[in-house]
Amino acid sequence: MASPLHRCISRRRNKSSSLPDLRQTIVHKIAGRFRREYVCVIGDGGTGRNTLVRRFLNMSDGPFRYSQVTRYNYRFIMVHLSERPNIRDQEIVNLCVYIFNLEGLSSHTFHLSVHLNSFAIVFDISRRSTFFSAVHCMHRYAAYLGHNRYILVGNKVDHLRPEVSQEEAVAAAAERGARRYYGCSALMNINMDSVFDALLLMALDPFRPLPP
């Protein structure tokens, strides 16, 4: 039989372990009151997709010391649109950001993804092979989506040896029907406001112009 002391310790552990669940329940209830939009960040492995989404969660921070290590399938972000420099609407949006890897994207996942509201198709400007993958992805989405709520994003513009030029990326985005091309650095927080706001605007109101 367990001693009274052991039973007391067990009860304390059970009580403390329930606190994160309670906090999570409260957060979910609050988030459920707001408009929800579903968007997607998609690209090859190593293009900085997870770091991009981490930056969405920390837009006011300075440069990150390291790229995002933990990999996610999706993340929720509570966005106060009044704080977004290119939007300034008086609304709060519960944004669900799916993070897809092109290298392992099944046909089933691809067909499900066409029901999302907007897309950022990401490549690494220092790896030309990822640019070709992004161009092919734009070609597939152009054929299946029935709309052009997607942007092409060239990440890691802080890299000293780019393999894809700004002009080439702009031309590819226009040819494949993307709304715009954005060069950025999620790690260094370069041009990330435009990328994030473009992704939001395409989901919220596809007829509004995107930021430059």
- pLDDT tens digits, residue range 96-131? 999 999 988 888 888 888 889 999 999 999 999 999
Instruction: Say if CB 99 and CB 48 are below 8 A apart.
Output: no
Q: Which of 52, 56, 106, 61 lies closest to 76, judged by CA?
A: 56
Q: How confident is the model over 50-87, as pLDDT tens digits?
A: 999 999 999 999 999 889 888 899 999 999 999 999 99
pTM for the whole structure? 0.84
